[in-house]
A and B are shown apart, each in its own frame.
Chain A
Amino acid sequence: MNFDFSDDQKQLRDQARKFLAEKCPPKAVRVVLDGKTPYDKELWKGLAEMGFLGVAIPEEFGGAGAGHLELCVIAEEMGRANAPVPFSSTVYLAAEALLIAGSDAQKKKWLPAIASGEAIGTLALFEGKGNPSPKNVKLTAANGVLNGVKKPVADGAIADFAVVAARTGSSGRDSDISLFLVELRAGGVEVKSLTNLDPTRGQAEIAFKDCKAEPLGAAGEGWSILTQVLDRAAVLCAFEQVGGADRALEMGRDYALDRIAFGRPIGSFQAVKHMLADMYVSATLARSNSYYGAWALSTNAAELPEAAAAARISATQAFQHCAKNNIQVHGGMGFTWEFDCHIYYRRANAMALGLGSLSYWEDQLIDRMRKKNAA
């Protein structure tokens, strides 16, 4: 049994960590946090040069042709650094949707552009409140023209193209939904930035008015493709969350060792030690669940739907838990803008919602476990 990343993959992780420590220190994150730029363009360019954007994209489409395990280790480091770039929307959502359902021409057009950092992509699924569900898709597509409003769309304001979920039927079945690919710089698209919990990753409202769109995948297959995309993204996001959780835990640990109160390091008080121990426990559970997700993703195993839901829940909980208690360990200083604790708190809570909320994934997990037991 080798339920671990290979030495090469671990080396890649170290390489990514080193690169991000240098190119994405907290002060770079803060440039985006303070709204001076919508994302870190230099970093994005650097990630492309390192080959990280296209690590899981096949060589024939301009990528490195490595695989999803390699993408997982990079995702972990992106989360650890709280990288303020449209990595998850472009790489986990848009690129994966293209890989699953894109025509050869679509792949040839967009995947090399993603790998080289020239194109930013995203998924436009949500339309206000609610979780992923065919019945929440109201935006219509008829005769290759879209009408409707999507929000929130992650990185929608900086994206060059979007994969859009649209209603093409009214039977009440999953087959009512089809996917379309839209160039957002073209006509019929109106983009508005939304303020959001995590300013280091933008959110937007996108209105489509008689907007021309090309189909992505077969008509009526949209929901089935989306489900696969969301499962893959759930595993990849879980690695970002695990990276973020670990960083928040480290920050808390380091502060507890450094901060003296009542004449001793606060990390010598059991109330603080035990809080940090519990953070370690959730981070460890999340990492192990995510490893299983990585295995299922990389082997395209039948277990992927269940593994993805478990990784999603566990990693979401761990990142939220570690981020909030990191602030608690820091006390008053943790609640200042100046300290970085709130950056992870914001990211943790934004990520907890991005692919659908916890309660949605809890429901999915039980459905999928039942299906497996029935099979």
Chain B
Amino acid sequence: MNFDDTPQEAEFRATARAWISANAPKQYEEELRKSSLGRTVLKNADILQVAKAWQKKKADAGWACLHWPKEYGGRGASPIERVIWQQEEGPYGQLSRMFIIGHGMCGPTMMAFAREEHKRRYLPPLASGENVWCQLFSEPAGGSDVAGLRTRAEKDGDDWVINGQKIWTSGAHYSDYGILLTRTDPTVPKHKGLTMFFLDMKSPGVEVRPIKQASGASDFNEVYFTNVRIPDHQRLGEVGDGWNVSLTTLMNERSAIGAAVSTGFPELFEYCSSLILDDGPAIEDRAVRSKLANWAVKASGLKYTSMRAISALSKGERPGPENSIGKLVAGSMIQDVATYALDLQGAAGVVSGENAELAGRFQAMLLRAPGTRVEGGTDEIMRNIIAERVLGLPGDIRVDKDVPFNKIPTKGRN
């Protein structure tokens, strides 16, 4: 048992470290390091532009999408090398956030199902950040129940005509392309009538409307489709096989190993270490210490769970299912941590924004946190996944499983 690199890993780490040290946008390091959930903006620069510039620089030097094949803009690196890169990239990894969906989900789906000429054309600019991609799955009628989606695709000559609405699309407002899950046959049970496409987000009839979130910010969008035409050669997988195609996408979403999950704990520990309460230093207070200790072991438990998965990668093995707990644990933890940090501030905790305690760091965290427990699979869906795929418990009883989609009761909504 050790935390040491193998000689090859050490060599790769040194090369990555040297390149990052010579090329990273150091002027933003401090701000990126201090960013936390709900607050990843740069004061004097457009983070989108900084992120695109960093991604392009990485791509030109062969450091983008490390695990992708070289011909599609990657490096052909091993999974453990990808993890080492993430560790070395450190705070600059924050700049990859806008590419996560494209690199983590759209790219792998394209790789598995697109035609060769499309892969060669679309994947390199996706890897280099010149094109940003989004994923158009969720709908008002299909969130956790994605297969309940209603956006229609109807064949018309060599094209498909799309009508409907998507929601919770991250980054649609700055995306160039998207992968789109549609219903092509409403007369068969819901999982069997779906088909996947990719499309140019500038196609006529695509309208993106930012959602003003509960936090006040706008990271997500509604996307409306009105008679949008997609050529049949942009179909991913067979007609009616969209559900299986989407499983590939979602599996990639959930298999991101080594990606840092924020728990809010380092921020809270740092805060409590200097905070003075009415009765003395917060860190001397028994109640505060008890709370901190409980969160400390969750944060360290997640960290070492991730290390176990990385070790499996290092040995060329498939990581076990334990990594599936990350989002579930971190999501509600960061919400609790933020709530407690404000509790320690007393009445002043109500003040948010730049003039608040720590420039409103924990207030921003609190307001963004509810989203973390919903996006990418709600806490409840994550528990179902653990129960079913890890513990082998039966799937939920699905009363609509064998019913033609257009016969499923909707209580008048459609």
**For residue B314, which residue of chain A has the nearest CB?**
A1
Known: A273-B387, A365-B293. A3 touches B298 (CB 8 A): no
> Do B307 and A273 have beta carbons less than 8 Å apart?
no
Q: How far is the CB of B93 from chain A (nearest CB, A)?
A: 19
CA distance A299 to B1 in the complex (A): 9
Contacting residues, chain B, for A278 (C-beta < 8 A): 383
**For residue B1, which residue of chain A has the nearest CB?**
A295
> Do B315 and A285 have beta carbons less than 8 Å apart?
no
Known: A257-B393, A295-B3. A314 touches B311 (CB 8 A): no
> Do A4 and B308 have beta carbons less than 8 Å apart?
yes
**For residue B298, which residue of chain A has the nearest CB?**
A285
**For residue B269, which residue of chain A has the nearest CB?**
A369
CA distance A292 to B264 in the complex (A): 21
Q: How far is the CB of A91 from chain B (nearest CB, A)?
A: 20
Does A370 interact with chain B (Cβ within 8 Å)? yes
**Which of A278, A281, A313: most chain B CB closer than 10 A?**
A281
Q: How far is the CB of A136 from chain B (nearest CB, A)?
A: 17
Does A21 interact with chain B (Cβ within 8 Å)? no
CA distance A2 to B307 in the complex (A): 9
Could you say which of A179-187, A215-223, A263-271, A343-351 contacts chain B? A263-271
Number of residues on chain A facing chain B (CB within 8 A): 50
Does A286 interact with chain B (Cβ within 8 Å)? yes
Say what secondary structure dominates the interface of chain B. Answer: helix
Known: A1-B2, A277-B391. A289 touches B312 (CB 8 A): no
Q: How far is the CB of A263 from chain B (nearest CB, A)?
A: 10
> Do A2 and B314 have beta carbons less than 8 Å apart?
yes
Does A359 interact with chain B (Cβ within 8 Å)? yes
> Do B304 and A280 have beta carbons less than 8 Å apart?
no
Q: How far is the CB of A265 from chain B (nearest CB, A)?
A: 6
> Do A285 and B325 have beta carbons less than 8 Å apart?
yes
> Do B301 and A1 have beta carbons less than 8 Å apart?
no
> Do B1 and A294 have beta carbons less than 8 Å apart?
yes
Known: A1-B314, A270-B384, A280-B325. A285 touches B302 (CB 8 A): yes
> Do A373 and B393 have beta carbons less than 8 Å apart?
no
Interface string of B272-304 (1 = CB under 8 A from A): 010000000001001001101110111011111
> Do A1 and B310 have beta carbons less than 8 Å apart?
yes
> Do A284 and B325 have beta carbons less than 8 Å apart?
yes
Specify which of B289, B308, B395 is in contact with A291 (CB 8 Å cutoff). B308
Does A276 interact with chain B (Cβ within 8 Å)? yes
Number of residues on chain B facing chain A (CB within 8 A): 51
Contacting residues, chain B, for A328 (C-beta < 8 A): none
Does A108 interact with chain B (Cβ within 8 Å)? no
Specify which of B9, B304, B322 is in contact with A3 (CB 8 Å cutoff). B304
Specify which of B273, B322, B395, B396 is in contact with A284 (CB 8 Å cutoff). B322
> Do B293 and A3 have beta carbons less than 8 Å apart?
no
**For residue B391, which residue of chain A has the nearest CB?**
A253
Does A41 interact with chain B (Cβ within 8 Å)? no
Contacting residues, chain A, for B393 (C-beta < 8 A): 253, 256-257, 265, 267-268, 272-273, 276
Does A19 interact with chain B (Cβ within 8 Å)? no
Contacting residues, chain B, for A272 (C-beta < 8 A): 393
**Which of B5, B311, B325, B380: most chain A CB closer than 10 A?**
B325
> Do A5 and B387 have beta carbons less than 8 Å apart?
no
Does A310 interact with chain B (Cβ within 8 Å)? yes
Q: How far is the CB of A307 from chain B (nearest CB, A)?
A: 8
Contacting residues, chain A, for B290 (C-beta < 8 A): 359, 362-363
Interface string of A284-321 (1 = CB under 8 A from B): 11111101101100110000000001100110010000
Does A366 interact with chain B (Cβ within 8 Å)? yes
Q: Which of A106-129 contact B (CB under 8 A)?
A: none
**Which of A4, A249, A272: most chain B CB closer than 10 A?**
A4
Q: How far is the CB of B56 from chain A (nearest CB, A)?
A: 31
Contacting residues, chain B, for A69 (C-beta < 8 A): 1
Does B328 interact with chain A (Cβ within 8 Å)? yes
**For residue A264, which residue of chain B has the nearest CB?**
B397
Contacting residues, chain B, for A2 (C-beta < 8 A): 1-2, 4, 311, 314-315
Known: A314-B301, A363-B286, A363-B289. A3 touches B311 (CB 8 A): yes
Q: Which of B319-367 contact A (CB under 8 A)?
A: 322, 325, 328-329
Q: How far is the CB of B208 from chain A (nearest CB, A)?
A: 35
CA distance A256 to B4 in the complex (A): 42
Interface string of A1-13 (1 = CB under 8 A from B): 1111110000000
Contacting residues, chain A, for B294 (C-beta < 8 A): 313, 317, 362
Interface string of B116-159 (1 = CB under 8 A from A): 00000000000000000000000000000000000000000000
Does A209 interact with chain B (Cβ within 8 Å)? no
**Which of B2, B297, B325, B328: most chain A CB closer than 10 A?**
B297
7 new A-B contacts, CB < 8 A, other than A2-B1, A369-B296, are: A1-B4, A257-B392, A285-B301, A291-B308, A295-B1, A295-B2, A366-B296
- Chain B interfacial positions (CB closer than 8 Å to A): 1-5, 9, 80, 269, 273, 283, 286, 289-290, 292-294, 296-298, 300-305, 307-308, 310-312, 314-315, 322, 325, 328-329, 380, 382-384, 386-388, 390-397
Closest 4 CB pairs of A and B: A285-B301, A362-B293, A273-B387, A288-B304
